[in-house]
């Protein structure tokens, strides 16, 4: 029998809690069960005034908004706010009932500029959660792998200026020269004189995104890009990461990247690099 859905349900008032509507297997429930976000309060305490001024938006809410954006692949904070406003699951995750107004999308931007920018807050959050995962046995940092990948910058490759900069030597070159001289001295030879000439090279600098670097893979692939230098375990979980311009050689980053890994996570038993 043909039936027609009545639209009166749109205007029906129902007494129901958010917790009754969000499915038990929804990812936001898994996030909430796995992570105790209260540790964030200690990390941001020095960024807020505790005894005067207008009440702020809960910093945990601001960070959870970022989680929503990246976990669910939402392209912008403006779009994230729109999604939160109409999503029962996202409201549940933030603790916002149907009557509570979602913060304006610019609120996060203002907090980032005034409080979070030029701090290591997000890095601390990352390593706090990572170390919890290590303690639970989900991540194994004993054997690690280092590699980098390039991501195209949002910059026209034809809009640039040329600059002369000092040519950086590979990180292992100084160590190699020292070892050669030690060997020469041990065999009664004079050490090689240090190279005093400062070599320079000309590079292209994007006028749109100066922090990116001109990356040349082959004749067809030339673009301004960023390099993501990453350390991961044997399951692909990221343990450390540094972002540079696409024209920065991996050898320039490997030492500080490994130092960061040892400081934040611990010294691995074995390391492999591409």
Once rounded to an integer, what is the mean pLDDT over residues 181-205? 75
Which pairing describes strands 143-152 and 270-273: parallel, antiparallel, or unpaired? parallel
Q: What is the pLDDT of residue 2?
A: 86
Q: What is the pLDDT of residue 269?
A: 95
The secondary structure of residue 222, as a DSSP letter, is: E
Q: What is the pLDDT of residue 14?
A: 81
Once rounded to an integer, what is the mean pLDDT over residues 10-39? 92
Q: What is the pLDDT of residue 112?
A: 85
Q: What digits encode the pLDDT tens for the residues 231-263? A: 999 999 999 999 999 988 888 898 899 999 999
Q: Whose structure tokens read 């990352």?
A: 126
For the chain, first and last CA: distance in Å? Answer: 65
Q: Give the integer Cα–Cα distance in Å for 265 and 59.
A: 26
Best CA proximity match to 210, nearest among 159, 148, 150: 159
Q: Give the integer Cα–Cα distance in Å for 57 and 181.
A: 61
Confidence of residue 90 (pLDDT cuts 50, 70, 90): very high
87 pLDDT exceeds 90? Answer: yes
Q: What is the pLDDT of residue 165?
A: 72
Answer with the residue of higher pLDDT: 174 or 121: 121
Alpha-carbon 38 to chain mean position: 21
For 222, phi then psi, to 5°, come to -130, 125
Confidence of residue 181 (pLDDT cuts 50, 70, 90): confident
Confidence of residue 220 (pLDDT cuts 50, 70, 90): low
């Amino acid at each position: 029998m043909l039936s027609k859905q009545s639209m009166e349900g749109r205007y029906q008032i129902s007494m129901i809690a958010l917790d009754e509507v969000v499915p038990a297997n929804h990812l936001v429930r898994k996030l909430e069960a796995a992570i105790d976000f209260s540790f964030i309060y200690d990390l941001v305490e020095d960024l807020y005034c505790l005894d005067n001024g207008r009440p702020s938006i809960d910093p945990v809410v601001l960070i959870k908004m970022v989680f929503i954006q990246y976990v669910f692949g939402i392209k912008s904070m403006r779009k994230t706010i729109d999604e939160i406003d109409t999503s029962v699951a996202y409201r549940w995750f933030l603790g916002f009932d149907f009557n509570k107004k979602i913060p304006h999308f610019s609120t996060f931007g203002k907090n980032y500029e005034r409080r979070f920018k030029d701090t290591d807050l997000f890095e601390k959050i990352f390593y706090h959660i990572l170390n919890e995962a290590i303690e639970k046995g989900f991540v194994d940092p004993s054997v690690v792998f280092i590699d980098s990948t390039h991501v195209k910058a949002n910059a026209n490759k034809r809009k640039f200026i040329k600059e002369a900069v000092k040519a950086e030597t590979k990180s292992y070159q100084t160590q190699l020269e020292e070892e050669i001289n030690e060997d020469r001295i041990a065999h009664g030879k004079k050490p090689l004189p240090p190279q005093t000439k400062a070599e320079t090279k000309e590079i292209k600098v994007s006028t749109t995104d100066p922090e990116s670097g001109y990356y040349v893979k082959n004749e067809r692939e030339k673009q301004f890009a960023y390099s993501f230098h990453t350390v991961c375990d044997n399951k692909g979980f990221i343990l450390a990461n540094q972002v540079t311009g696409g024209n920065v050689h991996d050898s320039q980053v490997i030492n500080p990247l490994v130092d960061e890994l040892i400081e934040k996570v611990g010294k691995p038993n074995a390391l492999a690099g591409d």
